[in-house]
A and B are shown apart, each in its own frame.
Chain A
Amino acid sequence: NAGVTQTPKFRVLKTGQSMTLLCAQDMNHEYMYWYRQDPGMGLRLIHYSVGEGTTAKGEVPDGYNVSRLKKQNFLLGLESAAPSQTSVYFCASSWNLYEQYFGPGTRLTVT
């Protein structure tokens, strides 16, 4: 099993550009999550999904959209990137409300 994978690993965007981050898991988990991690801050939840076709807002959802069209994939979109969205993005999945399995992270820089 690959576990949780994230694509891409690194990306540099210019202000105003758009992009989509892909998270994929092969553990048949129902729940999936997108977090961002910034210096001096803990992991902050952006959006999450409790099943295929469902999404919900987390702590810091503004400027992001998500979709969960397939159970194994959770996409995070930035429609118009801003420098404040420079961060490391982590995806996670879980089969219940307990242990979450994290992906390797995507380092995004917006200039």
Chain B
Amino acid sequence: ILNVEQSPQSLHVQEGDSTNFTCSFPSSNFYALHWYRWETAKSPEALFVMTLNGDEKKKGRISATLNTKEGYSYLYIKGSQPEDSATYLCAFNSNSGYALNFGKGTSLLVTP
């Protein structure tokens, strides 16, 4: 079992605020780091997969960075909107296995 830690556990911001979350993971035997977005009553949907140290990915107002040497990734949301309200999951897989190890997620609530 590979520990993946996410912080904060939950976050409540106002519409228009920018925010960020952290995911920490084991820095050894790194293969890939994933971010998923999970809306209530729906299935998790992949946002980003990052494999290289220093990777930065962007999709609209959401971006992510990766530091494999120190074992962390940040997810940023610029100008949060109510439709961004969801749980954001981080998952890690090592080069020694097929399984994804998920963090417990950061629950984001954006209010108008």
Interface residues of A (CB under 8 A from B): 4, 31, 33, 35, 40-45, 48, 50, 56, 58-59, 90, 97-105
23 contacts between A and B (CB under 8 A): A33-B99, A33-B100, A35-B102, A42-B89, A42-B104, A42-B105, A43-B44, A43-B91, A45-B99, A50-B98, A56-B98, A59-B99, A90-B43, A97-B32, A98-B32, A98-B34, A99-B46, A99-B49, A100-B46, A101-B46, A102-B45, A103-B43, A104-B43
Instruction: Look across to chain A and name the residue whose beta carbon is closest to the beta carbon of B6.
Output: A42
Is the pair B89, A58 in contact by a Cβ cutoff of 8 Å?
no
Given A43-B89, A103-B43, check contact A59 B1 (CB 8 Å).
Answer: yes
Instruction: Look across to chain B and name the residue whose beta carbon is closest to the beta carbon of A40.
Output: B104
Is the pair A97, B93 in contact by a Cβ cutoff of 8 Å?
yes
- Least distance between A38 CB and chain B CB atoms (Å): 10
Interface residues of B (CB under 8 A from A): 1, 4, 31-32, 34, 42-46, 49, 89, 91, 93, 98-105
* A45 to B100 CA separation, bound complex (whole angstroms): 8
- Least distance between A88 CB and chain B CB atoms (Å): 10
- Residues of A within 8 Å of B102, CB to CB, are 35, 42-44
* A35 to B100 CA separation, bound complex (whole angstroms): 10
Instruction: Look across to chain B and name the residue whose beta carbon is closest to the beta carbon of A6.
Output: B43
- Residues of B within 8 Å of A90, CB to CB, are 43-44
- Residues of A within 8 Å of B89, CB to CB, are 42-43
- Residues of A within 8 Å of B99, CB to CB, are 33, 45, 48, 58-59
- Least distance between A57 CB and chain B CB atoms (Å): 10
* A43 to B44 CA separation, bound complex (whole angstroms): 10
